[in-house]
Amino acid sequence: FPVSPLGMCYDGSQKLSDIYKSFGYNIVYLYDPNGFDSQGHLWVAVEDKNHPNTWLAVDSYYGTMTDDYYYKAPYSFVDFKYLDSINPKWKVT
């Protein structure tokens, strides 16, 4: 760590997802739209293969997170594409 520079959590989370999935781990994205001065923050949770339904949060800059306050995320999803459902963007065509 870091996998990506501070403030690049979207790219970093996707990189972490690819890495953990390549080793056969289940991941979930965690998203807090109010994190980091309302810019939002995204990180992943990785399931422990030996203890189903036990997850460890991993930040692409800080690494594994163990502080209780960091785990609070109002949104979670299994595929990155769902981020746009939570934080939609206007598209002009």
For the segment 18-68, what is each residue's pLDDT rounded down to a tens digit?
999 999 999 999 998 886 666 788 899 999 999 999 999 999 988 888 776
What's the pTM value of the predicted model, to 2 decimals? 0.81
**Residue 26 structure tokens:** 């289940």
Cis peptide before 88 (omega within 30 of 0): no
